Amino acid sequence: MAFLTPLTLAMVKQAEKRVGVTFDYVRKIAQTDFGLLLRYNKVFGFLDPRKHLPAQAYHAARLRGALAADCGTCVEAEINLALQAGLSKTLVKAILNSTADGPLGAVIALTDAVVGGKQDAPDDRADVLNAYGEAGLIELSFAMNGAALLPGVKRAMGYATTCNLSMMKALS
């Protein structure tokens, strides 16, 4: 499968341009074992299909999930993806600063409790269920926990980055 490595690395480069961050750890996976890269890519099949939620709720869960696990390039990537999905810079700031209210406030609170605090949040879950239904809740659970998974993979492989303070200040 080594013959696929150049093509795979070109695809990683395209993804980096689209998301606006480097994927050094993905390059390492691709160079090490194509089968491991295929397994890694299955994570995105788990995360990406947003079918039951508005973009704001989905990206709020992903942003807060990534923020609970990291404030480096994973959060930067999630910010870029949220902006590309049409969220305003003001809304992204509100999500990052936990100042959104209504159903988005419930998404933020549930994500922070589950991913950040490893706790249950029955009242917030009830608000999420009321706003987005069972399928929405399940999709949010995938989004929040999946976005928190990727920083852990990077950290375990030795590719964790420090928080980009200038980026975070620009959005605060």
Is the domain of 29 the same as that of 68?
A: no
Query: Does residue 99 surpass a pLDDT of 80?
Result: yes
Claim to verify: residue 112 and residue 144 sit in the same structural domain: yes
Same domain for 128 and 72: yes
As for how many domains the chain has, the answer is: 2
37-49 pLDDT, tens digit per residue, is 989 888 777 777 7
In this predicted model, what pLDDT tens digit does every residue of 126-147 receive, in sequence order? 999 999 999 999 999 999 999 9
Q: State how far Cα 55 lies from the chain centre.
A: 13
Half-sphere CA count of 53, side-chain side, radius 13 A: 30
Are 116 and 156 in a shared domain? Answer: yes
Same domain flag for 8 and 87: no
Q: Are residues 141 and 63 in the same domain?
A: yes
CB atoms inside a 10 Å sphere around CB 12: 17
Exposed / middle / buried, residue 88 (Cβ in 10 Å: 0-12, 13-18, 19+): exposed
Q: Given this model, what pLDDT does residue 122 score?
A: 97
- Domain of residue 128 covers 55-171
Are 74 and 148 within 8 A, CB to CB? Answer: no
